[in-house]
Amino acid sequence: MTENNRTRIIFGSRSITLSGKEDSEYVNRLADYLNSKTEEMAAAASYKRLTENDRTAMLLFNIADDYLKAKDRADRLEAELKQLEAESDDMRYRFVKERMQQEKGK
């Protein structure tokens, strides 16, 4: 059975201890991402006028936006990779077929 890892992170001005299966390095990367996203949004003057609930909602929407854009990009790249693999397989097949025909003709 896998033991849970405990990681202390700083989120905003709070220190939080998280427990889970992920290693500390990964959890710290998550915290860094959240902190940088929060700082990015806090730079906008309009952000300061929002309620705490609206700030949280805005953070969630921004994270979801990043996630969906990354997922769409990954899906496009995966489709492109499959297309390139199919083209590569086709070229390999044509090469072998051509080679066999050349050797037959000799």
The average pLDDT across 47-76 equals 95
Q: How confident is the model at residue 106 (pLDDT cuts 50, 70, 90)?
A: low
Domains in the chain: how many in total?
1
**Tally of CA atoms within 13 A in the half-sphere of 58 that contains its CB:** 17
- Please give the pLDDT value at position 1: 55
Q: How confident is the model at residue 2 (pLDDT cuts 50, 70, 90)?
A: low
Q: Is residue 36 part of a domain?
A: yes
88 has a pLDDT exceeding 70: yes
Per the structure, the complete domain to which residue 18 belongs is given by 5-78
Q: Is residue 89 part of a domain?
A: no
Q: Is 8 helix (H, G, I), strand (E, B) or coil?
A: strand
Going by C-alpha positions, the residue among 42, 74, 75 that lies closest to residue 58 is 42
To the nearest 10 degrees (0 to 180), the angle between helices 52-105 and 24-42 is 120
